[in-house]
Amino acid sequence: MAKKKSNYENLIQSEKLPLHIAIIMDGNGRWAQRRLLPRTMGHRAGMSTLKEIVRACSDLGVKVLTVYAFSTENWKRPWEEVDYLMKLLVEFLRKEINELHQNQVRIKVLGNYSNLPLECQSEIEDALQITRDNPGLLLNIALNYGSRQEILAAVKVLARKVAAGEIEPDVINEETFSGLLYTKDIPDPDLLIRTAGEMRISNFLLWQIAYTELWITECLWPDFSKDDLLQAVWDYQQRDRKFGGLNGERQDGINA
């Protein structure tokens, strides 16, 4: 039996796809609690959703997908939950790396993963090495990531360069600063999706989302589907992106 087509699949304009989609994957715990399950089961269900959405973005022709997997603030959660999340990361990379590689997906990590358990670091290094030359979808996984920390780290680098006389303060511009972030050489997100209905950014890509279109859904992350993704993309394509001007052109000169 042929798979039923998405309600939005025929509405998407391929020439107006967002180049870069970022996702705050929220609602795993609530999904589990509503089903009287441990929160860990929500995270496991969320992992399955991530696999589906990565595949959907790759098939759609999106160039960059950035997902918020573990923030610097998530260390405040109970040790048992954090430990499970670390093990789930290892499991995801081990199970999915072959398919990701076959589909030409390139993996990049945003954040300081040197603080993660050694097993996580090893799996991450293997994934980065295996996929480093792949020309397809760039999958950015934000791990132990916090945007304020990212910005402060860039400020400290610039401060040291100024103090050493390597750079004059007056020549520092947005391009200089962006080049010191984890996302250097990556276009800013065109579309930011947040699940579970929360109306906040949660310390995610604060510099990079200055002109990003926001799309917030009540759908909990484990229930988020390809059709939800396509709905978000379709809604994005209906918007007139002016970037503070009137001509509807991206800052990098690509028509929006």
Distance between CA atoms of residues 145 and 202, nearest Å: 11
Give the residue from 69, 129, 137 showing the smallest Cα distance to 100.
137
Residue reference for tokens 């800013």: 188
What is the total residue count of the chain?
256
One-letter-per-residue 3-state SS of 39-89: HHHHHHHHHHHHHHHHHHHHHHCCCEEEEEEEEHHHHHCCHHHHHHHHHHH
Provide the H-helix boundaries in 139-237. Answer: 147-163, 174-178, 226-237
Determine contact, residues 107/139, Cβ cutoff 8 Å.
yes
Annotated active-site residue in 10, 28, 59, 74 = 74
Q: Is 185 a catalytic residue?
A: no
Catalytic residue among 7, 10, 26, 227: 26
**What are the CA-CA distances from residue 212 to residues 101, 133, 136, 151 (Å)?**
29, 28, 22, 18
Q: Tell me whether residue 36 is exposed, middle or buried, using C-beta atoms within 10 angstroms of its C-beta: 0 to 12, 13 to 18, 19 or more.
A: exposed
Say which DSSP state 238 is in: T
Instruction: Please say if 26 is a catalytic residue.
Output: yes
Residue positions annotated with a catalytic role: 26, 74
